[in-house]
């Protein structure tokens, strides 16, 4: 089985400090993690990062990869907002995702400004998040609750990207790879966080799924 001695924990979660709560829970079991993630939880370390991570897996050992976006829910049940320790303002969460959603809404509603600017390296991750969410414009426009649908749209784009990265680098994962993907739900400082699992696959070092373990944790 997977344990702290034979397993490297790898995460792709948002930069937001609230995302560390879930990460810390796994670190307490498996030890320090290799981080692939950036804004909104996208695996911005890419193929190079995944290859470096694979080289750090213990000999004949395994990798547990945990990835996904996060979303806040405040004490009143508002999705996309969350209370933070020491801050009176009820803040956006995930700020990067909500900004990207606003950018996309400007395009789908026809209000986006024409610009000749190319991607700026000083904010390239946010630019990438905005581009990667573009295919979900109609989905978000048609959603009954845009903020509720947003993390699921983000997850679908992230999952597609992660599958491509894994397919490229699976050969280096030694004993095998367990991939747990889903949505982290952050609440206020005095209430617990949650995780909605959407994928839990056990894969060999050829990138082949040997077992879909999601039903085991969902009680199906």
54 sits in which H/E element:
helix 46-55
**Cβ proximity of 196 and 165 under 8 Å:** no
pLDDT, one tens digit for every residue, the chain (220 residues)? 899 999 999 999 999 999 999 999 999 999 999 999 999 999 999 999 999 999 999 999 999 999 999 999 999 999 999 999 999 889 999 999 999 999 999 888 876 666 666 667 888 999 999 999 999 999 999 999 999 999 999 999 999 999 999 999 999 999 999 999 999 999 999 999 999 999 999 999 999 999 999 999 887 6
Q: Rounded to whole angstroms, how far apart are CA atoms 95 and 111?
A: 21
The bridge status of strand 177-186 relative to strand 194-203 is antiparallel
User: Length of the chain in residues, anyone?
Assistant: 220
Token digits of residue 102: 């606003």
**Cβ proximity of 132 and 161 under 8 Å:** yes
Whether the model clears a pTM of 0.75, i.e. scores above it, the answer is yes
């Amino acid at each position: 089985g997977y344990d702290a001695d034979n397993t490297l924990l790898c995460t792709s979660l948002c930069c937001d400090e609230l995302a560390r709560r879930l990460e810390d829970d796994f670190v307490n079991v498996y030890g320090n993690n290799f981080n692939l993630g950036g804004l909104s939880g996208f695996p911005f370390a890419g193929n190079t990062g995944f290859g470096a991570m694979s080289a750090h897996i213990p000999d004949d050992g395994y990798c547990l990869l945990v990835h996904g976006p996060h979303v806040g829910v405040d004490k009143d049940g508002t999705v996309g907002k969350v209370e933070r320790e020491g801050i009176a303002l009820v803040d956006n969460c995930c700020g990067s995702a909500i900004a990207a959603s606003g950018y996309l809404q400007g395009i789908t509603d026809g209000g986006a400004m024409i610009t000749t600017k190319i991607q700026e390296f000083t904010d390239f991750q946010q630019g990438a998040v905005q581009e990667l969410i573009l295919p979900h414009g109609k989905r978000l426009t048609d959603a009954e609750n845009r903020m509720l649908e947003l993390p699921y749209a983000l997850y679908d784009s992230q999952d597609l990207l992660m599958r491509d990265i894994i397919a490229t680098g699976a050969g280096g994962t030694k004993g095998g790879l367990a991939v747990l993907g889903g949505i982290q739900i952050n609440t206020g400082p005095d209430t617990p966080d949650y995780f909605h699992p959407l994928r839990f696959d056990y894969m060999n070092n050829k990138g082949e799924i040997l077992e879909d373990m999601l039903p085991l944790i969902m009680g199906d």
